[in-house]
Amino acid sequence: MEIVVALVFSAAVLFGADRLLLWLESRGHLNWRRKGRRRLSEEPTAGLDSMLSDHTRR
């Protein structure tokens, strides 16, 4: 009986976490399930990336 309670509790926690992450996604805080991943090649590069790139200074 204890194993059934533990499985039900685990399922409830996972369901709650999923609903929380979907709510955060709807607010624009993260990407979880509904939206795909961002393509990092299309994102603008940071200033640090441009400073560390291999170009010669004269």
Residue 58: per-residue pLDDT: 52
Residue 30: per-residue pLDDT: 85
**pTM assigned to the model:** 0.57
Residue 32: per-residue pLDDT: 81
Least confident piece of the model among 4-8, 13-17, 31-35: 31-35
Q: Could you give the maximum distance between any two Cα atoms of the chain, in Å?
A: 75
- Where does the pLDDT of residue 49 fall: very low under 50, low under 70, confident under 90, or very high at 90 and above? low
Q: What proportion of the chain, given as a percentage, has pLDDT over 70?
A: 59
